[in-house]
A = this chain, B = another copy of it.
């Protein structure tokens, strides 16, 4: 039989009360007792029964995803994943919610975060653009006893918070390698489009992309990043113009998770030209375009995995446990038409 706390007390030569004090970091424990209990734990291989702990604590965990307010398809996917996780975790006394707030003004975001405390919520996963105000607000959030996960967002990594998401430099490099090898040995230009180059993740992806292209594909030249500012008209205009001025464009790389506007513009303007198209993230739009071979490859991070990973980490932190690193690394996926694996089949 598996040893219980009672066995542990016996083995350690102390009372159940002392075992309880040691196991739950309660005060008034002598160093000697502490050692006796920990030695006994090693000796008899005691492991707390999580079910019994959960039942006795009878605590409900409350976690919140703080996401940008946007009509982005990737964001919709993400919200869908949160909803799914919410339903799956309802059984485990875990309340999960997603809120969307405008991210344009860092002060507003910081203000929002400053109103959260551990009375309201045990942990938050925050997806917000880099800014000193937000970073500060996150640090203070941690200080107030709320677990924080930096979630899929181009922020400077905090010491005191966990990060869930991919390495964007590596993601850009991956895109670069795929683009370079897919293009073959023709010489020409690559058009790079982003919503904005103010975002850290765009900057990092571009950095990784350029690094690979410059080092390994000297016959290719990356054009300056085009910024759509999430404006369809503007996207249409600048992309059309760029394609006209650069007839030797061989490929398009869309940095941002929303590829719809840029790619629609590209397809309207490309004429009979063959373009290798690389974009980020799997959405209904990009999935369909991949199936129709209008996109050649997607660089993606699985939103479902990201959500579950964030929740597992928050849960582990709330229980003062170390998250299992090997399970929580989000992969940089390369999606082709062939390995898309649609749900239906």
A binding-site residues for B, Cβ under 8 Å: 2, 47-52, 54-55, 60, 84, 88, 90-93, 167, 170-171, 173-174, 176-178, 181-182, 184-185, 208, 212, 296, 302, 304, 308, 324, 326-327, 329, 331-334, 336-339, 341, 343
Q: Which residues of B contact A51 (CB under 8 A)?
A: 50-52, 54-55, 92-93
Q: Which residues of B contact A327 (CB under 8 A)?
A: 304, 308
B91 touches A177 (CB 8 A): no
Least CB distance, A330 to chain B, in whole angstroms: 9
Q: Which residues of B contact A174 (CB under 8 A)?
A: 336, 338-339
Q: Which residues of B contact A182 (CB under 8 A)?
A: 181-182
A171 touches B52 (CB 8 A): no
Q: Which residues of B contact A302 (CB under 8 A)?
A: 331
Q: Which residues of B contact A343 (CB under 8 A)?
A: 326
A176 touches B338 (CB 8 A): yes
Which of A308, A334, A343 has the most chain B CB within a 10 Å cutoff? A334
Which of A182, A184, A296, A339 has the most chain B CB within a 10 Å cutoff? A339
Least CB distance, A82 to chain B, in whole angstroms: 13
Given A177-B338, A181-B181, A334-B336; 8 other pairs, CB 8 A cutoff:
A50-B92, A52-B55, A84-B326, A88-B324, A173-B338, A177-B337, A302-B331, A329-B341
**Which chain B residue shows the least CB distance to A52?**
B55
Least CB distance, A244 to chain B, in whole angstroms: 26
B170 touches A339 (CB 8 A): yes
B185 touches A336 (CB 8 A): no
Least CB distance, A114 to chain B, in whole angstroms: 30
Q: Which residues of B contact A54 (CB under 8 A)?
A: 51
Task: Give bound CA distance, A90 to B46, whole Å.
Answer: 10
Task: Give bound CA distance, A50 to B91, whole Å.
Answer: 7
**Which chain B residue shows the least CB distance to A91?**
B47
**Which chain B residue shows the least CB distance to A173?**
B338
Say whether, besides A2-B93, A52-B55, A92-B50, A331 and B326 are in contact (CB < 8 Å): no
User: Which of B47, B52, B208, B333 sits near A333, CB closer than 8 Å?
Assistant: B333
Which of A52, A91, A167 has the most chain B CB within a 10 Å cutoff? A91
Task: Give bound CA distance, A322 to B302, whole Å.
Answer: 22
Task: Give bound CA distance, A338 to B90, whole Å.
Answer: 38
Least CB distance, A97 to chain B, in whole angstroms: 16
Closest 8 CB pairs of A and B: A51-B54, A184-B184, A332-B339, A334-B334, A173-B338, A174-B338, A174-B339, A51-B51
**Which chain B residue shows the least CB distance to A345?**
B167
Q: Which residues of B contact A208 (CB under 8 A)?
A: 338
Least CB distance, A177 to chain B, in whole angstroms: 5
Least CB distance, A336 to chain B, in whole angstroms: 5
A177 touches B329 (CB 8 A): no
B329 touches A331 (CB 8 A): no
